[in-house]
Structure 1
Amino acid sequence: MTEYQPGACNIGHAERRRRYLTGVAGFAAAALLVAAVATVHADRAWLLAAVAPLFVGFLGVLQARARFCVGFAMAGVFDVSASGDRRQPAPEAGQRADRKRAIVLSVKALAAATVGALALYLAAGALA
């Protein structure tokens, strides 16, 4: 069983699974965007919009792998239960560490999404 650790672990198995599924959905949405742009021969600048679904994808996967939920951290709660149905208030002493970790994970996801969207844009230009 997982235990709450300020700034390190604030979700259990069920919540990790939800984050993985969210990540997969984000990456699938990015793939659909790329397919739509290619299908309708839209301007490749539309590929830069992939930053949004890629952010969702990367953030979901990063959270699952880190056993850490950004939203829970910002709300000051945690849920390390196996079922994912026991949210509890995080101790005030740990909330600062949780929020710091949430910001770090969010920045990493945004950086990866930005690089990914730029790579799609540049690849489309090279193929044109």
Structure 2
Amino acid sequence: MSTNVYQPGVCNIGPAEIRQRRMSGYLGLAIAVVFLVLAFAFGWPAWVRLFVALPVAIAATGFLQAAFHFCVRFGAQGLFNFGELGTQEAVHEAEYRRKDQRKVLLIVGLTAVISAVVAIAAFLVPLP
């Protein structure tokens, strides 16, 4: 799969955008790890540990967008970008937009599942 050509429902971002999504994934992952370390170190209640879902969602969204070469926001708004950061082009064909919206739903769904699984696992882990 080429990362330099828009492909409806497959690829809507190029290398610069992919790097940015990957960096947001690493940031969300770091925040989640720090959150969990603090939660277990200070014995936070199990219900508080459920909030790890938020940084995990950031991480999952970032990594999934980078892996799929597909931006959720661009897909939802009918845009794509293979140039410099901050520049987008419109997707005009209705069928292409529908394909992009299906990919958005896939990424959002996977993010929700990943976030829920991690949050539930953090909730269920007993404190020492």
Aligned sequence identity (%): 30
Q: Is the 1:54–1:113 contact (alpha carbons within 8 Å) kept by the matching residues of 2?
A: yes
Shift of 1:51: 0.8
Q: Which runs of 5+ in 1 are unaligned?
A: none
Equivalenced residues, count: 125
Query: Is 1:113 aligned to 2:104, yes or no?
Result: no
Aligned-residue RMSD, C-alpha: 1.4
Mapped partners of 2:111, 2:14: distance in 1: 21
Q: Is the 1:13–1:84 contact (alpha carbons within 8 Å) kept by the matching residues of 2?
A: no
Correspondence for 2:102 among 100, 103, 122: 100
**CA distances 1:21-48 after superposition (whole Å, capped 9, x unpaired):** 1111111111121122123322122111
Q: Which runs of 5+ in 2 are unaligned?
A: none
Q: Equivalent residues in 2 for 1:81-92 (5 A)?
A: 81=83, 83-92=84-93
Query: Is 1:61 aligned to 2:63, yes or no?
Result: yes
**CA distances 1:67-112 after superposition (whole Å, capped 9, x unpaired):** 000001111110022x334310012331111011101111001101
Correspondence for 1:41 among 40, 43, 66: 43
Mapped partners of 1:52, 1:92: distance in 2: 34
TM-score (norm 2): 0.90
Question: Aligned partner of 1:23: which letter?
Answer: G
Runs of 4+ aligned structure 1 residues displaced above 6 Å come to: none
Question: Corresponding residue for 1:7?
Answer: 9
Q: Is the 1:12–1:84 contact (alpha carbons within 8 Å) kept by the matching residues of 2?
A: no
Deviates more, 1:30-39 or 1:70-79: 30-39
Mapped partners of 1:108, 1:63: distance in 2: 11
Mapped partners of 1:77, 1:107: distance in 2: 20
